[in-house]
Amino acid sequence: MKIIAVCGMGIGTSVLLKMNTEKVLRTLGIDADVEAADIGVARGMARDAEIVLTSADLAPQIGDVPATVIVIDNFFDLDEISDKLTEALD
């Protein structure tokens, strides 16, 4: 499974979201490749990803992609990330 963590610049918050997503996935026992990306690169990457994680302001900019786009309100909240990923994967 491929998951893309997206922020505006692809440097800070997307890396934080990537690391927290990897923690959650380990806890859930799910094997996935998580990549950090900026919004411009994410549009292309999302075409072959299963899930895109991003903020509410960037989600509409992802566009029409086959991936499930999940809005994360707090990139530090492991429970929120876990709940939303679990819901999307069920």
Could you list the active site residues? 7
Nearest Cα neighbor of 66 from 89, 50, 44 is 50
Q: Which residues contact residue 20 at a Cβ distance below 8 angstroms, ignoring those fewer than 6 apart?
A: 75, 76, 78, 81
Both tokens assigned to 72:
């994360």
